[in-house]
Structures are given as structure tokens and as C-alpha cells.
């Protein structure tokens, strides 16, 4: 017995959903190894730099006078810059993967979480934040030099 017209629509919708799910799984299979590699490479580098608690930062920002105190802040800002640079590279890798296997909603919703445009936007945001953090670290390194005089 041949399915009716409405049954064809249901079957077609189910097939479309399955195709989208397969594409999503393929994209995830490509993206996840890249993310794991980036995380593995970046984790040791990030662990070598001290990140201060918000309380320590607040205290040092208002009270830093010695070279050691300014260097604590410089090291903190450098560590955050390293993290943001790693995040930017991760988002760039994701953007490349999503560009190779675009999701069905990418043209309608370019900033959806699973699109190349979304990843490029956050990569740029992370690069800008890292640049600002490196400038703050450099300023505190300079303060540390001047505090020692």
C-alpha cells in the first residue's frame, strides 16, 4: 500500500531532520578533536602564570607600590591575555570547521552558536581583550620599574 500525501510530508520532514542531525554530528566530530587539541596545548602554558582572585586584584590596584606588587598585577594580566589568545584560537578553529560544514540555519541566524560568523565574532572579541590585557600588563611592568627607583 502506498502512503498518502500527508504521510509523504511527514516522511520528508523526518528525513530532513535526520539529515540535519547527521550534519550536526559530523560537524561535532570535526570540531571536538580540534577543541581538545587546542585545550591540551594551551593548558600547560596557562598554568604557569598566576591568576589573582578578584579580592587580590581590588587590593593591589589601590595599594600597589612595590615592584613585586606591580609585577603580580602584570603577571595576572598576562595570564588573562594568554587565556584570551587561546580562546581566540579556539574560536578561529571552530569558525573554520563551521565554514567547512555550515549548519542549516547559518544564513538565517548568522550569530547562532553553531555558526562560523558567531565564532569569528568571539575570536575577534578575545583578540581585542588580549591586546588590552597585554597593554595593562606592560603598564604595570613599567610601574614596577619606576617603583624600584
CA gap 136, 126 in Å, rounded: 15
77 or 29: which carries more pLDDT confidence? 77
Could you tell me the CA-to-CA distances from 133 to 60, 85, 88, 142 in Å, in that order?
A: 16, 10, 14, 14
| pLDDT above 70 coverage of the chain, percent | 58
Q: Which long-range contacts (CB under 8 A, 24 or more apart) does 131-134 make?
A: 131/81, 133/77, 133/78, 133/80, 133/81, 133/84, 134/77, 134/78, 134/81
- Average pLDDT in the 115-119 region? 85
Amino acid at each position: 500500500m502506498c502512503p498518502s500525501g500527508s504521510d509523504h510530508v511527514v516522511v520528508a520532514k523526518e528525513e530532513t531532520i535526520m539529515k540535519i542531525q547527521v550534519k550536526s554530528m559530523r560537524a561535532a566530530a570535526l570540531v571536538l578533536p580540534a577543541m581538545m587539541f587546542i585545550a591540551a596545548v594551551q593548558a600547560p602554558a596557562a598554568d604557569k602564570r598566576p591568576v589573582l582572585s578578584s579580592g587580590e586584584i581590588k587590593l593591589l590596584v589601590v595599594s600597589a607600590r612595590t615592584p613585586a606588587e606591580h609585577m603580580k598585577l602584570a603577571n595576572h594580566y598576562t595570564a588573562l591575555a594568554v587565556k584570551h589568545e587561546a580562546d581566540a584560537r579556539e574560536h578561529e578553529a571552530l569558525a573554520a570547521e563551521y565554514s567547512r560544514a555550515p549548519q542549516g540555519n547559518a544564513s538565517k541566524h548568522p550569530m547562532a552558536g553553531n555558526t562560523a560568523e558567531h565564532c569569528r565574532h568571539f575570536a575577534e572579541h578575545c583578540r581585542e581583550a588580549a591586546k588590552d590585557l597585554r597593554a595593562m600588563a606592560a603598564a604595570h611592568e613599567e610601574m614596577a620599574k619606576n617603583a624600584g627607583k
